[in-house]
Amino acid sequence: MSNEQAIESLKANLRGKLVQPGDSDYDAVRALYNGMIDKRPRLVARCVDVADVVAAVNFGREQGLLTAIRGGGHNGPGLGSCDDGLVIDLSLMKSVRVDPASRTVRVDAGCTSGDVDHATHAFGLAVPFGIVSTTGVAGLTLGGGTGYLTRKYGLTIDNLLEADVVLADGSFVTASKSQHPDLFWALRGGGGNFGVVTSFLFQAHPVGTVYAGPIFWLAKDAKAVMRAYREFLPTAPEELGTFVGLKTVPPMDPFPKEHWGQRACAVISCYSGAAADGEKAIAPLLKAVPAPIFNWMGPMPFPAIQSMFDPFFPKGLQWYWKGDFVKSLPDEAIDAHIAQAAEAPTALSLMHLYPIDGAVRRAPRDGTAWNTRDATWSMVIAAIDPDAKGADALKRWGRAYWKAVHPFNLEGAYVNFMMDDEADGRIQATYGDNYPRLAQVKRKYDPNNLFRVNQNVRPAA
């Protein structure tokens, strides 16, 4: 069959649409969340069901095409797309079904965390996802998933009960603790290496109205706040998801005008419970530090804190990411952070430290592919600018910041906070002693590395 005939045959086999260069929607469909990444796939298969995914996987394999898998398209280095290859785009697969009796939720692979929060909130339930509601559930989950509910309920993968997967050979399996347990183990942290997940089944938890929001101090108080936060975190109840960050006061309403554009330190928190208990939970930190410039914690529906920062981060900004797992935060590390943050190239650029403790530590280290359960934080440095001309400055700052603080950190990083320019051995360091087992599972389920547009685990020899 000629190349053109094969494409026509794929088109005929899809219920969804096959988009190609020259189509009027090609640019809109290929656009990724990170405006720094501009990939031009040969074909985008916009799948609407599992049969479409099977057809697309078979086509990619048979035609020897570089094949990328796209959920929400939020990945930093744009690993949901590729140049000159096939993108299996799941973003039209959006169904969410909540079972309030078992408190479980079945989620199609094209959902964002906002899609799921919307559906579960109606039942007073939530699944731990990330802190920006436009992020795709698929990539976030397969990489691990941290957010406000993580201290209490674990990583997103700790709440994954089952996944439907189309494998590289086009076959379909369900992975769970009892079915294909090796695949289920690898999917929980191993990223998009093992197949195309078409649907996830999650355990949800009772979370309704929360006490949440940001508290900001000026940079002159950052040292005191970061030191106090470091001591406070292990004493704080697990209902309090709370991360510390170095940022800039956004130069816009409703932020206090006299502080617009000033460097700042922020603690952003979400207490899952009554407002009075939330106030009590954050009080010891507030007692230990100078008065903030504002404290906007208050009662709100859980989806409100989940989407509170969405307006700052619309699709198409330039992003450069660096990450690390962090075990401890000595005073010298705090000083290095503050010095580097002071050089941030734009007001949107930030550093956040997300807690890795509580329920994350209670899960066994070899129970999932995600390995670094003994870290205390997952650090992200995100250099962000709406202006494409700023891209080089973002990279320079991100790399310099990371270089200055990495000596205080662990060797690996959260795979979802990496670009595609990491040093050799970084993926191995991230998975640590789980790496050889991951490589074995890769060899079993994707021996020819069809799924290699990701933080790649090579099949074991």
Positions that interact with ligand FAD (CB under 6 A): 33, 69-76, 79-80, 90, 109, 130-132, 135-136, 138-140, 142-143, 145-147, 191-192, 196-197, 313, 416, 453-454
Least Å distance, CB 130 to ligand FAD, is: 3
Least Å distance, CB 384 to ligand FAD, is: 9
Report d(CA 48, CA 91) in Å as an integer.
8
List the beta strands (DSSP E) in 7-156: 17-19, 43-46, 67-70, 86-89, 96-99, 104-108, 125-126
> From residue 428, how far is each of 163, 187, 438, 455 by CA, in Å?
25, 16, 10, 10
Least Å distance, CB 182 to ligand FAD, is: 16
Least Å distance, CB 135 to ligand FAD, is: 5
Are the C-beta atoms of 106 and 201 separated by less than 8 Å? yes
Report d(CA 255, CA 257) in Å as an integer.
6
CA geometry: angle at 193 spanning 190 and 198, to 5°?
A: 95
Identify which of residues 146 and 159 has a Cβ nearer to ligand FAD in the complex: 146
Q: What is the dihedral of CA 139, 141, 142, 146, to 10 degrees?
A: 100
Helix ranges (H only) for 188-343 are 222-232, 275-288, 302-306, 331-341
Strand order in the sheet with 86-89: 17-19, 43-46, 86-89, 67-70
Q: 13, 15, 431, 444: which is closest to 191 by C-alpha?
A: 431
* SS3 state of residue 7: helix
> From residue 94, how far is each of 80, 146, 154, 396 by CA, in Å?
17, 22, 24, 38
Least Å distance, CB 193 to ligand FAD, is: 8
Least Å distance, CB 378 to ligand FAD, is: 8
Identify which of residues 68 and 289 has a Cβ nearer to ligand FAD in the complex: 68
How many CB atoms lie under 10 A from the CB of residue 89?
28
Residue 154 zone, left/alpha/beta (φ > 0; ψ -120 to 50; rest): left
Identify which of residues 90 and 236 has a Cβ nearer to ligand FAD in the complex: 90
Side-chain-side CA neighbours of 440 within 13 Å: the count stands at 8
The whole-angstrom distance between residue 137's C-alpha and the CA centroid of its chain comes to 8
Identify which of residues 75 and 221 has a Cβ nearer to ligand FAD in the complex: 75
Least Å distance, CB 71 to ligand FAD, is: 3
Identify which of residues 137 and 429 has a Cβ nearer to ligand FAD in the complex: 137
Least Å distance, CB 1 to ligand FAD, is: 27
Least Å distance, CB 188 to ligand FAD, is: 12
Q: Is residue 172 classed exposed, middle or buried when 0-12, 13-18 and 19+ CB atoms within 10 A define those classes?
A: middle
Identify which of residues 33 and 184 has a Cβ nearer to ligand FAD in the complex: 33
How is residue 136 annotated by DSSP? B
Identify which of residues 242 and 454 has a Cβ nearer to ligand FAD in the complex: 454
Least Å distance, CB 29 to ligand FAD, is: 13
Q: Give the list of residues 6+ apart from residue 418 with CB closer than 8 angstroms, or none.
A: 76, 77, 321, 322, 323, 426, 455
The total number of residues shown for the chain amounts to 461
Are the C-beta atoms of 357 and 234 separated by less than 8 Å? yes
Q: 235, 210, 233, 32: which is closest to 128 by C-alpha?
A: 210
Least Å distance, CB 2 to ligand FAD, is: 29
Sign of CA dihedral 192, 196, 197, 199: positive
Identify which of residues 140 and 228 has a Cβ nearer to ligand FAD in the complex: 140
Identify which of residues 370 and 401 has a Cβ nearer to ligand FAD in the complex: 370
Least Å distance, CB 43 to ligand FAD, is: 16
Identify which of residues 228 and 244 has a Cβ nearer to ligand FAD in the complex: 244
